[in-house]
Amino acid sequence: MGTSLQMTWQKNLLLKRRKKPNTSPPLGLKNLGNTCYLNSVLQCLSYTPPLANYCLNNHHSSHCPQSGTGNCPFCLLEKRIIRSLTLDFSIDAPSKILSCVNIFSPHFRYGRQEDAHEFLRFVIDACHNACLKINKNSSIVRGIFGGKLRSQVKCCDCGAESNKTDDIMDISLDLFQVTSVKDAMQRYFQQEVLNGTNKYHCDNCEKLVVAKKQLAILKAPNVLVIQLKRFEGIHGGKIDRAIAFEEGLLLSNYMCKESQDPCPQYNLYGTIVHSGYSPDSGHYYAYIKDAMGRWYCCNDSFVSISNLQEVVSEKVYILFFARSNQRPATNQITLRYDWSGTSALQWP
Ligand SMILES: [Zn+2]
Ligand SMILES: [Zn+2]
């Protein structure tokens, strides 16, 4: 029996684990020297409801053979998230996770500024691998962030289709000539004609042909992370213009016809903003929505109350969305209702 994935905050669990009242703001994270990238990512992960619920239950560490050795990235993250959600202070130093930063990625160095998105990817991958060490067929990390993209190429001569499916943990969007996240999504999923020097080799026709290529979502993730590629401007500079986005996001236009999940809906719960000119300089800070639905700006140790208007006015770099409607049951995922009536998802 798999463990269930709780998409909404388990407030009773939070109350039980937390000594401070529910009205207190998120814990500020001290900057230990160029660690704003790490602080911002940790804040957003701590306020990812299904991950927070899982950590507050000690689900990972209670099954992990490496628990207590200090060598497991997920055990480290679990401890960090529990501290963030339960400590009585207003500021904490993420020294433990920072001193072990090379457990997530060997090339990360204490004291050096890094790209927040790169760090997030390493944390997610490292924790995913830690899950697979316990059970090679089950990963909470994939259950939370994982989705599937299908790439279809169709030969314009014979009509033969070739399909390829890729597992994804996030989506990175190009910003060239784009003014909103919606635009960028549309471009990402729009049909592309493979022609000229870009012709496609059709196995059926046994020659290079003009073909149409299209990406579509085969499995929508429970938590959708979107990176805006601000650091890939044509001249190598940062794309610093405002990119509009909204609190709600629909994936209906980008789903595969075969997916049986026609309209995944999402709500924003976190963002990471970068100010400055390159990913490894400048400054990162985060916005998160707490269990009560209040927005906060988490700028290292400085935490201040915010609101949606302020959140959407920022030039964001990374967006975190959680599904607000449930992924339909398939043979891989079964639905379960817990005692409180909150729906939960299961994975094998
Ligand atoms: Zn572990
Ligand atoms: Zn063909």
- CB-side exposure of 284: number of CA atoms within 13 Å? 31
Query: Is it the case that residue 331 has pLDDT exceeding 90?
Result: no
Q: What is the CATH number of the domain that holds 327?
A: 3.90.70.10
Out of 36, 55, 127, 131, pick the active-site residue: 36
Report the pLDDT averaged over residues 318-338: 70
36 is catalytic: yes
Query: Is it the case that residue 247 has pLDDT exceeding 80?
Result: yes
Neighbour tally for 21: CB within 10 Å: 7
Starting from the CA of residue 211, give the closest ligand: 2
Average pLDDT, the chain: 89
pLDDT at 23: 67
Q: Are 338 and 53 in contact (CB under 8 A)?
A: no
Q: Are 217 and 282 in contact (CB under 8 A)?
A: no
**pLDDT over 70 percentage in the chain:** 91
Report the pLDDT averaged over residues 336-344: 38
Q: Give dist(CA 110, CA 6) in Å, integer.
A: 34
Under the banding of pLDDT at 50, 70 and 90, the label for residue 345 is very low
Query: Is it the case that residue 335 has pLDDT exceeding 50?
Result: no
Q: Are 304 and 296 in contact (CB under 8 A)?
A: yes
pLDDT at 37: 94
pLDDT at 109: 79
Which secondary structure element, helix H or strand E, spans residue 21, and what is its range? Answer: none
How far apart are the CA of 205 and the centre of ligand 2, in A? Answer: 4
What's the structural domain count of the chain?
1
274 is catalytic: no
How far apart are the CA of 76 and the centre of ligand 1, in A? Answer: 7
How far apart are the CA of 48 and the centre of ligand 1, in A? Answer: 19
Q: Give dist(CA 187, CA 171) in Å, integer.
A: 13
φ, ψ dihedrals at 173, nearest 5°? -105, 135
Starting from the CA of residue 200, give the closest ligand: 2
Report the pLDDT averaged over residues 99-107: 86
**Ion ligand 1 contact residues with beta carbon within 5 A:** 64, 66, 72, 74-75
Query: Is it the case that residue 112 has pLDDT exceeding 90?
Result: no
Query: Is it the case that residue 344 has pLDDT exceeding 90?
Result: no
pLDDT at 22: 62
Out of 59, 156, 205, 283, pick the active-site residue: 283
**What is the DSSP code (8-state) at residue 225?**
E
184-212 burial: b if 16+ Cβ within 10 Å, else e: bbeebbeeeebeeeeebebeeeeeebebb
Q: Name the residue range of residue 84's domain.
A: 4-346
How far apart are the CA of 200 and the centre of ligand 2, in A? Answer: 9
Query: Is it the case that residue 347 has pLDDT exceeding 80?
Result: no
Q: Give dist(CA 40, CA 83) in Å, integer.
A: 15
